[in-house]
Amino acid sequence: MEKELRLMKGNEAVAEAAIRAGVDGYFGYPITPQTEIIEYLMEANPAETTGMVVLQAESEIAAINMVYGGAACGKKVMTSSSSPGISLKQEGITYIAGAELPCLIVNVVRGGPGLGTIQPAQSDYFQATKGGGHGDYHLIVLAPASVQEMADFVDLSFELAFKYRNPVMMLSDGAIGQMMEKVYLSPQKERSKTIPEWATTGKPSTRERNIITSLDLDPNRQELFNRKLLAKYDEIREKEVRFEEFQCEDAEYILVAYGTSARVCQKSVQLAREQGIKAGLLRPITLFPFPTKRINELAGKVKGMLSVEMSAGQMVEDVLLSVNGKVPVYHFGRMGGIVTTPEEVVESLKSKLIGD
């Protein structure tokens, strides 16, 4: 079937894509700048069409624990929020990671710390990629840079979540959530009737009971479990790295940026090249796993890299580790809900890496 063309906000695209991907349940709590997700779902009322449950919980904490319950039953379930709300969900998220359950968490990031601002930011990179909750765990983190990707990554997230029995986070931001672009929507998928073998949906006489838990009081068994998780993360690092390159072939300087910053940097590359500076852009699509290997390869061919983020400098640490001292690496970014302009990036590239 042909894809349907619409003009939508990023938030609306997530919601519509969730219905079409055959998601079983959405549990959320409103917060700017992502409230359109739950608004759209409530208005669409998919309970009457696909049977998808849409529920406004009493709090973010309730919502993530509903996701925990739904995921334990083998269902395709998701939640969404923005930075302060995602902080509230962290306990549930680490439990879900510890219980090895698939789900989707969408974070439409706003500026922090604390309640911060409702304007776009990328200051939740550490929280998304380095844990967020307690314990040794990783989410798979996807970073959409367009309304189209907001839609496409819903399906991809569930594919990865079920493949690895691991929670997936879509790390978006207020700009992509609020802006409208063209989006081609996939046809409606039916909700899956297959129940994964590990799901807790009642014990038949043919097998042992399934247990979903993140608790094991025996240190030896817990360490074995930790090692199993590490092996899974290694497999994800090996197989699931995704990135996009823009004019990197002959580049002397590489900008590394994701999400909204990557869109800004695409324009910066054009502006820099108009001034005779051979710039290129590497856009990580997965933030965990990070495109470490590719950045290390590129570091062998260029004079320097600039990590551009709407934060005080978070992803730059992963760029530094990837480059491993081969060339200078700097960070440039605006904070407080201010979106970097393409011109500022070029100025920063010149002052930090090129000199006059």
Partner 1 sequence: MTEEIIIAGFGGQGVLSMGKIMAYSGVMQDMEVSWMPSYGPEMRGGTANVIVIISSERISSPIIKHFDTAIILNQQSLDKFESSIKPGGVLIYDGNGITRHPERKDINVYRVDAAEEASRMNSPKTFNTIVLGGFLKVKPIIKLENVIKGLKKSLPERYHNLIPMNEKALIRGEEIIKEVQKAL
Give whichever of 253 and 288 is closer to partner 1, judged by the CB atom.
253
356 C-beta neighbours (distance < 10 Å), count? 4
DSSP 118-169: SSB--TTHHHHHS-SSSSS---EEE---SHHHHHHHHHHHHHHHHHHT-EEE
Among 53-61, 73-81, 115-123, 288-296, the segment contacting partner 1 (CB under 8 A): 115-123
Among 30, 84, 328, 342, binds partner 1 (CB under 8 A): 342
Site membership for partner 1, residue 45 (CB under 8 A): no
Site membership for partner 1, residue 180 (CB under 8 A): yes
Give whichever of 7 and 312 is closer to partner 1, judged by the CB atom.
7
Q: Under a CB-based contact definition with an 8 Å cutoff, are residues 253 and 330 in contact?
A: no
Among 99-107, 235-243, 311-319, 337-345, the segment contacting partner 1 (CB under 8 A): 337-345
Give whichever of 262 and 316 is closer to partner 1, judged by the CB atom.
262
- At its nearest, how many Å lie between partner 1 and the CB of residue 151? 15
Q: Under a CB-based contact definition with an 8 Å cutoff, are residues 108 and 173 in contact?
A: yes
- At its nearest, how many Å lie between partner 1 and the CB of residue 180? 4
Say how far apart CA 51 and CA 286 lie, in whole Å. 31
Site membership for partner 1, residue 254 (CB under 8 A): no
Site membership for partner 1, residue 341 (CB under 8 A): yes
- At its nearest, how many Å lie between partner 1 and the CB of residue 257? 11
Residue 65: closest CA among 85, 38, 93: 93
Measured in whole angstroms, the distance separating CA 174 from the mean position of its chain's CA atoms is 13
224 to 253, contacts with partner 1 by CB under 8 A?
A: none
Sequence-distant contacts of 192-198: CB under 8 A, at least 24 apart: 192/22, 192/76, 195/73, 195/74, 196/74, 196/162, 198/74, 198/165
Give whichever of 140 and 264 is closer to partner 1, judged by the CB atom.
264
217 C-beta neighbours (distance < 10 Å), count? 6
Give whichever of 180 and 312 is closer to partner 1, judged by the CB atom.
180
**Contact positions vs partner 1 (CB under 8 A):** 5, 7, 32-33, 117-119, 174-175, 178-182, 260, 263-264, 266-267, 270, 337, 339, 341-343
